[in-house]
Chain A
Amino acid sequence: MRHAQMVAIIDDDEQVRTATASLVRSLGLATRTFASAEDFLLSPEQGVADCVITDVQMPGMSGVELQAALRAKGSRTPLIFITAFPEDRIRRQVTLAGAVGFLAKPFDGQEMIACLDAALAGA
């Protein structure tokens, strides 16, 4: 039997992190949660995550900077962005850089599932 695919969830808000993880687990996927982009980059899961769901605005490294850092390392892990304050400028920027999704909080569960399907289809 194949291992469950793993989704890394990065958000500085613990409640959002936990809720998102619960939703992703309900789909039968494994999750790991991180309070910051730095924590994720330093963790062993960084190389094995099949998909990353990340907040945009966070203290320290932002979601956008995380995307740049991953690309610089040659990582091809698909990214889904979630934000409490969606700005078109950032949406365009991360989409151009290859993001699978850009969702405004509170996001729609179906939309998140569609993004996850798209992200994990190639994995």
Chain B
Amino acid sequence: MMPLAVAHGARSALIPMLAALLGIIIFLVDTLTPLDMAVAVLYVAVVMLLADVLTRRGILAVGALCIGLTTISFFAVHNVRFELEAVARAIVALSAIGIVTLLSLRNRHSSESLRDQAALLDLTHDAILVRDASDTLLYWNRGAEELYGWTADEAVGRNTAELLRTGFPISREAAAVELERHGRWEGELRHTRKDGARVTVASRWSLRRDAQGRPLAVMETNNDITERKASQDRLDKAQAELVHVTHMATLGQLTASIAHEVNQPLAAVVTNGEACLRWLRRPSPDVGEALASVERMIANGRRAGEVVARMRALSRRQADRQETVDLSQLVRESLALVERELTRHHIAVELDLADALPVVTGDRVQLQQIVINLAVNAVQAMEGAPRPRRLKLRTRALEWAEGEAARLDITDSGVGADTEAMSRLFEPFYTSKPDAMGLGLSISRYLVEAHGGVIEATLNSDRGMTFAVILPAAKEQSL
């Protein structure tokens, strides 16, 4: 048998009792008193009272019962003498009961489908919230309760941005403009949970408008990506460390190889020298052995020189990978490689890149290394500096003594440097930072000079400093 009631609990037990009592009173008054009124119309109250707690079949049963009771009362009071007025009253009452029963059935149907839809929204793991045009929360699903910790009762009616302390990727206004223009917005947001923990969510907004096209409500679907972000950050950090370690390992191998190559002839020189002295200091000096030792010293000194010459030739050959490079284009490529670093340190990048620069020739990777080193140096200089932290990169064509040239200025708003630091900036292993190697700027200067250019640093008038790189234009410009 189908259930007749849908809800249970103290309130739902009280309502049927009230309805039953009301039904009995109406029946008694209608049957036993000689009132010339359509008392039976009041049965609609019984149906309406029960409409919320009964199933559709239950509503139908109650409606039929009320109609039955009305009919019984009519025949009991009026027997078989049908007065026109009485019949009319009975018909009004029966119609009213019938109409209310049918309306209740329809209402029950639509509220059931609404409930089903809302239950579906509760099934999803995403946090779904609906807020009106003034950012007041209207709906808060179970996913939102689980993600943020507030129950729907606690959240509905609150201001969304205040409750969640929303952090926007660019700004709240930018998101609002996009939403207004396209009807939707998506991006990463930072929210605060009830327990105070910060979470990162991938958020999608859809705007619902009224008939006049005015914003009515926004549905926001938020997907928790905190863990994914954290592991991505860990991965990035590990990669950066790996690059650093590889760099150090390469440096270490290079040092070992240079040490070995140079130390062999040096060892021969020193040992021959020592041997020579011993041969000469013997009670009867052995001039033949001493002379042979000196000759070997000379030969090994020359050999050490050759080792150094070979290494220089090796580094020259590597610098020989020449191609033409547009400095503005190079800046864009290089910045793409340090983008994460810039974002992570909340640095606003300002580009002022000239279009028709004279091209320079050189090794693209080495030239990129210059821009990256200077950008990273600027980021480090702005670490701990007050915001806004600005990194400005500007390229310009330039005439200098050797002809045409291209110039790059990299300006930061960092802590700058004192007089002593300014004079030693480009020295290898000179650094003001405890965890840095102090090689970035010296390598940059080495690379700039290897490309026939110059690099200089100046303090800005307000704060921070500017590094200027000037590279000569390619001689045979095929334009």
Contact = CB atoms under 8 A, between A and B. Distances in A.
Contact of A84 (B267, B271, B286, B292): B267
B293 A15 contact: no
A53 to B, nearest CB: 11
Contacts of A104: 263
Contact of A22 (B263, B266, B292): B292
A107 B267 contact: yes
Contact of A18 (B265, B274, B296): B296
B279 interface: yes
A19 B260 contact: no
B256 interface: yes
Which of B278, B293, B299 lies at the interface centre, i.e. has the most chain A CB atoms within 10 A of its CB? B278
Given A26-B279, A26-B282, A26-B289, A19 B271 contact: yes
Interface in B235-288: 256, 259-260, 263-272, 274-275, 277-279, 282, 286
A23 B274 contact: yes
- Which among B268, B282, B286 has the greatest number of chain A C-beta atoms within 10 A? B268
Nearest to B293: A22
Contact of A57 (B260, B275, B278, B293): B260
Q: Which of A19, A23, A108 has the most CB of B within 10 A?
A: A19
A107 B289 contact: no
B260 A85 contact: yes
Which of B266, B275, B282 has the most A CB atoms < 10 Å from its CB? B275
A22 B275 contact: yes
B303 interface: yes
Given A22-B289, A26-B278, A109 B268 contact: no
Interface in A42-81: 57
A106 B263 contact: yes
A20 B273 CA distance: 10
B267 to A, nearest CB: 3
Nearest to B300: A15
Given A25-B289, A26-B289, A85 B263 contact: yes
B260 A15 contact: no
A107 to B, nearest CB: 7
Contact of B293 (A19, A82, A85, A106): A19
Contacts of B282: 26
A13 B266 CA distance: 12
A13 to B, nearest CB: 5
Instruction: Give the secondary structure class of B's interface.
Output: helix
Nearest to B267: A105
Given A26-B282, A85-B256, A19 B263 contact: no
A1 interface: no
B275 A16 contact: no
Interface centre among B263, B270, B274, B296 (most CB of A within 10 A): B274
A27 B267 contact: no
A36 to B, nearest CB: 16
Given A15-B303, A18-B296, A26-B282, A107 B263 contact: no
Contact of B263 (A20, A84, A108, A109): A84
A19 B267 contact: yes
Interface residues of A, number: 21
B275 A23 contact: yes
A13 B296 CA distance: 13
Given A15-B303, A25-B289, A26-B289, A20 B259 contact: no
A18 to B, nearest CB: 6
Nearest to B265: A15
A17 to B, nearest CB: 9
B260 A20 contact: no
Interface in A8-36: 13, 15-16, 18-20, 22-23, 25-27
Contact of A19 (B256, B259, B268, B286): B268
A104 B36 CA distance: 127
A19 B278 contact: no
Interface in A65-123: 82, 84-85, 104-109
Contacts of A22: 271-272, 275, 279, 289, 292-293, 296
A105 B264 contact: yes
Contact of A16 (B267, B278, B293): B267
Contacts of A109: 270-271, 274-275, 277-278
A106 B260 contact: no
B275 A26 contact: yes
Contacts of A16: 264, 267-268, 271
Interface string B281-315: 01000100100110010011001000000000000
The list of the 6 closest CB pairs from A to B, nearest first, reads: A109-B274, A105-B267, A26-B278, A84-B263, A106-B270, A19-B271
Given A26-B289, A106-B266, A106-B269, 7 more contacts: A16-B268, A19-B271, A27-B278, A84-B259, A85-B256, A105-B266, A109-B274
23 contacts: A15-B265, A15-B268, A15-B299, A15-B300, A16-B264, A16-B268, A18-B296, A19-B269, A19-B271, A19-B296, A23-B272, A23-B274, A25-B289, A26-B282, A84-B259, A85-B256, A85-B260, A104-B263, A105-B263, A106-B268, A106-B269, A107-B267, A108-B270
